[in-house]
Chains A and B, each alone.
Chain A
Amino acid sequence: MTIRDAYALDGKLPSPDARFDLVVIGAGPAGTEAAIAGARAGKSVLLVDENPVAPDLMRTDVPLFYGLRMTGAVETPERMLETLLSTNPLLETAFELGVEVLLGTSAWGLYAPQPGLATLPGQLVGLADATRSWLIGFDELVVAAGARDFVLGFPGWDQPGVMGAMALKMLLERYEAFAGRRIVILGSGDLALRTALAALRHGIEVAGLIEVRACVQGNAALAAQVAAAGVPLFAGSVVTRADGGADGVKQVVITGLSGETSIACDTVCLAIAAVPAIELLAAAGARLAVSATRGGHVPMIDAAGLTSLAGVSAIGDCAGIVSAPDSLAYHAEWLAALARGSTGDTIVCQCESVSRADLLGVQPPAYLGARSECMAARNIDTLLADGPPDQDQIKRLTRAGMGLCQGRRCRDQVSLLLAAEAGLAPDAAPFTGYRAPVRPIPLGILADWAEAPGMSDGWDVWFGVPAQWTPYRDIGTEREAMHIAILGGGHI
Chain B
Amino acid sequence: MSGSNVVVIGAGVTGLSTAWWLARSGASVTVLDKGVVGWEASSRNGGGASHYHSPLFQEEQRLWPMMDELLGYPTEYQRGRVIAAMTEKQLTHYHYMADMFLELGYAVDRIDPHQAIAFSPLLSDANLGGIHLHFGGHANPQRTVQAYAWATQDLGGRILQNTPALRLVAEGDRVTGVETAQGLIGCDAVVVAAGPQTAVLLAGIGIDLPLSAARAEMIITEPAPLMPVGGVDGNGLYGRQTLRGNLAYGGGPHEWLDTGPGSPPRPTSPLSRNLARRVAVLFPKAAKLRVIRSWAGVVENTPDGRPVLDRVHGNVTIGVMSGVGFGLSPASGHALRDLVMDGQCSFAEIGKLKLDRFQGLAPDWREQRGWFPAALA
Which residues of A are at the interface with B, using a C-beta cutoff of 8 A? 1-10, 12-14, 109, 111, 113-120, 122, 124, 126, 133, 135, 285, 352, 364-365, 367-369, 372-375, 378, 386-388, 390, 393, 396-397, 399, 402-404, 406, 435-437, 440-444, 446-449, 451, 455, 458-463, 465-472, 475-476, 483, 486-487, 491-492
Contacts and interface: CB of A to CB of B under 8 A. Distances in A.
B171 interface: no
B270 A126 contact: yes
Contacts of B270: 13-14, 109, 111, 120, 124, 126, 135, 448
B291 interface: yes
Interface in B358-377: 367-371, 373-377
A285 B291 contact: no
Contacts of A467: 304-306
Contacts of B375: 118
B291 A468 contact: no
Interface in B78-130: 87, 89-90, 93, 96-97, 100, 104
Contact of B142 (A397, A462, A463): A397
Contacts of B376: 113-115, 118
A403 B221 CA distance: 9
Given A109-B272, A373-B72, 15 more contacts: A1-B367, A8-B371, A116-B264, A118-B375, A372-B72, A378-B150, A403-B292, A443-B283, A444-B287, A448-B273, A455-B252, A459-B253, A465-B301, A472-B352, A475-B306
A463 B214 contact: yes
Contacts of A468: 53, 304-306, 322-324
Contacts of B323: 462-463, 465, 468
A5 B244 contact: no
B276 A446 contact: yes
Contacts of A440: 222, 290-292
A354 B306 CA distance: 40
B279 interface: yes
A1 B368 CA distance: 6
Contacts of B72: 372-375
B215 interface: yes
A469 B142 contact: no
Nearest to A10: B374
A77 to B, nearest CB: 17
A245 B96 CA distance: 59
A443 B294 contact: no
Nearest to B255: A9
A444 B247 CA distance: 14
Contacts of B273: 126, 133, 446-448
Majority DSSP secondary structure for residues of A touching B:
loop
A472 B345 CA distance: 15
B353 to A, nearest CB: 8
Contacts of B197: none
Nearest to A468: B305
A285 B263 CA distance: 14
11 contacts: A14-B270, A109-B270, A113-B377, A116-B264, A378-B73, A378-B150, A441-B290, A455-B252, A463-B299, A465-B304, A468-B324
Contact of B368 (A3, A446, A459): A3
B89 A492 contact: yes
B135 interface: no
* Interface-centre pick from A397, A448, A470 (highest chain B CB count, 10 A): A448
A398 B277 CA distance: 30
Interface string B132-151: 00000000001100100011
Given A126-B270, A368-B74, A461-B251, A2 B367 contact: yes
B268 to A, nearest CB: 6
Contacts of A368: 74, 76, 243
Contacts of B54: 472
Contacts of A120: 269-270
A481 to B, nearest CB: 14
B290 A472 contact: no
Interface in B32-80: 36-37, 39, 43, 52-55, 68, 72-74, 76
Nearest to A470: B53
Given A8-B214, A378-B150, A443-B221, A118 B373 contact: yes
B255 A116 contact: yes
Interface stretch (B154-162, B176-184, B200-208, B332-340): B154-162
Contact of A442 (B216, B253, B287): B287
Contact of A114 (B222, B265, B291): B265
A120 B73 CA distance: 41
Contacts of A12: 253
A9 B254 contact: yes
